[in-house]
Amino acid sequence: MLAIFIKTLPFFMLIGLGWAAARSRIFPAEGAVWLTKFVFYFPLSAMLFRFAATLEFNQIWDPRFALAYLAGSLLIWGIGIAAGRSRGQDSGISLIEAHCCVIGNTGFLGVPMLVVLMGNAAAGPVLMVLIIDLVVFSTLITLLMTATRHGRIRLSMAGALLRGLLANPMIVSMLAGLFWSWASLPIPGPAMEFLTMLSAAATPGALFAIGASLAGRQADRPAVAIWLSFAKLVLHPAAVGLAAWLLGVEPFAASVMIAAAALPVAGNVYMLAQYFGIGVQRVSSAILISTAASVFTIPIVMHLIGQG
């Protein structure tokens, strides 16, 4: 396990560097916002397009894999809602807590780290996890939040949801890459060199941005945040692992699925909490605590995966 910890350590050192730079104000708070936007729209999107365009379609889309990940995630989502309601929280708070339990930092942390640790073959399963998180669960929580607030779901929301999905550069880049792969279109040499150069900025930029964004967070409501972090880092990978085993998912793909589920709470959950004005502080604390704890939990999960 020490060898795995040493392999993952540089990724968390980059996160720590971003945190230290922002905490010491060498890197200003507004800089983290703009760096995140740069990585989100350019290097990370280039990386996702390149992966999707150079993979066979069946290396990404696997119905059994998708069903296993959805089943395990929905189980933990339901547990998250039930736990919130059992503490007397309203539906909105319970929904945002449930989202913390299953939505990991797959884009900024998972894609670059898992591809390095597990090889290029991990790209397809990681992209599948990212698509499910961004499309299925983002749509689900938006619909349920709206129903909670207004008592019903309006058909007019369909257009707004579609526009929101198509405005996400990660979704657009993956869809474009999938089309490129499906059409068997070649990527010209200069274009591939451009994508490779731009993609190279994704890993250090994304990890530094994660750290810088953590610098302004405080661990308010630590008891709730610890529970949410435990659900995300421990219960979620255990649930998707069980689902993958029951449904007979191919072992390597199942390993990637479990590793992706072990990632800390994603920053886009915080953006959703801000948008709906619900549970902002507890989500912020969960991101901080789960990211710090994942320095140790991810190597443990990777070690267990290696042990079969």
The domain spans of the chain are 2-306
What pLDDT is recorded for position 254? 96
Profile the chain (308 residues) by mean pLDDT over runs of 10 residues. 85 93 88 89 93 82 94 97 93 93 92 89 92 89 77 62 77 90 89 94 92 80 90 97 96 96 93 86 92 94 85
What pLDDT is recorded for position 166? 75
What pLDDT is recorded for position 233? 97
Tell me the C-alpha to C-alpha distance, in Å, between residue 89 and each of 85, 92, 145, 273, 287.
Answer: 5, 8, 14, 15, 20
What pLDDT is recorded for position 306? 82
CATH 3.90.1150.10 fits 2-306, yes or no: no
What pLDDT is recorded for position 56? 80
What pLDDT is recorded for position 128? 92
Exposed e or buried b per residue across 190-213, where buried means at least 16 C-beta atoms within 10 angstroms of its C-beta: eeeeebeebbebbbbbbbbbbbbb
Tokens of 29: 């708070």
What pLDDT is recorded for position 181? 87
What pLDDT is recorded for position 149? 67
3-state class (DSSP) for residue 265: strand
